[in-house]
Amino acid sequence: MTNEQRLKNLEVPTGKIDVVLDTDTFNEIDDQFALAYLLRSTEKLNTKAIYAAPFFNQHSTSPADGMERSYEEIKKVLALMNEDLPVFKGSDKYLPDERTAVDSPAADDLIARAKLYSPENPLYVVAIGAITNVASALIKAPEITENIVIVWLGGNSSQYHDTKEFNMMQDVAAARVVMRSAAPFVQLPCMGIVSSFMVSAPELEYWLMDKNPLADYLARNTIKEANAYASGKPWTRVIWDVTAVAWLLNDNSRFMLSRIEKTLLPSYEHKYEENTGADMRYVYHIWRDSLMEDLINKLTK
């Protein structure tokens, strides 16, 4: 790929594009919003497949269990939306190192699918979890870097004091593989940038509750989760993952601001330390109300 083509692929795409989504859907409540937003954005986004990503926290017993639960949650959201799309199980563990892929149906599908595209007509890979599946595909078939653009919600802002963000710190090796690969890469950092994309209980109740089965599920699921950890105190809830989908819809910077920067790799000590010298697209501001309006309109239509 020429540098000119790479920079072009780091711009917000024009026209209708093909997308795959890699998601740890059962981890929190925001992946469901992102999946629904993607599938309701058919004016520009043509979803080709969905991949279940591994995760491990209080909602799972292992990365493999997290992936399986995410797979089932994807199916649940699709049923609420009366959608039927290919869904593939992903990695059952994180990368053991930066040279060893983890085999999975998701990684294999991404490889096969990416080979159908080109630098001039790339497949957009939106990742909103640990990026193990994507890294595994790149290790197994590095030639696909020419044919894809990776948009990842991962890490924190470069000004933040560490990179202990859930998606990034789960699989630092995978993050390093993806970020140092030749694939055009867009980063949406969490703390300090996307952390501004918050929603509150009154907004969820007013705009989404009882509007349709999907909107009602998303609203009630979010309120239930937030009430559990807020313990009776006021709260707002960040719905991070929506922004990764929104970048593909960011014509004329209507939802966010971004710039070209040199890629900073995360270290295993959870700091940004190494500069790869490669250009990436870095999102540095979210227009919260503009994006929230579009999200609500699409979830309630």
Which CATH number covers residue 80?
3.90.245.10
155: left (phi over 0), alpha (psi -120 to 50) or beta: left
Would 210 be classed as within a structural domain? no
Model confidence at 78: pLDDT above 90: yes
Q: One-letter amino acid identity for 47?
A: T
The reply to whether 218 falls in a domain is: no
Mean pLDDT (whole number) for 175-190: 97
Distance of alpha carbon 166 from alpha carbon 103, whole angstroms: 22
pLDDT, residue 279, reads 95
With cut-offs at 50, 70 and 90, classify the pLDDT of residue 240.
very high
> In the prediction, which pLDDT does 229 show?
86
pLDDT, the chain, mean: 97
Strands 45-52 and 148-153: unpaired
Domain around 127: 3-197+239-285
Q: Looking at residue 262, what is its pLDDT?
A: 96
Query: Please, are residues 20 and 47 in contact by the beta-carbon 8 Å criterion?
Result: yes
Cα angle: 41, vertex 236, 228; to 5 degrees:
105
Considering the domain boundaries, does residue 243 fall inside one?
A: yes
C-alpha span between 46 and 182 (Å, rounded): 24
Per-residue model confidence as pLDDT tens digits over 115-138: 999 999 999 999 999 999 999 999
Amino acid at 206: Y
Cβ contacts of 180 within 8 Å, gap of 6 or more:
263, 265, 276, 278
Q: Is residue 234 part of a domain?
A: no
Q: Which residues fall within 8 angstroms of residue 295, CB to CB, at 6 or more apart?
A: 33, 37, 242, 246
Is residue 50 a part of any domain in this protein?
Answer: yes
Number of compact structural domains in the chain: 1
pLDDT, tens only, 81-93: 999 999 999 999 9
pTM (two decimals)? 0.97
Q: Which tokens belong to 101?
A: 């892929």
Judge whether 154 lies within some domain.
yes
Strand, helix or coil for residue 88: strand
What mean pLDDT comes out for the span 224-231? 90
Query: 186 in a domain, yes or no?
Result: yes
Asked whether residue 255 is domain-assigned, the answer is: yes
How high is the pLDDT of residue 1?
A: 87
On the question of pLDDT at 277 being above 90, the answer is no
DSSP state of 137: H
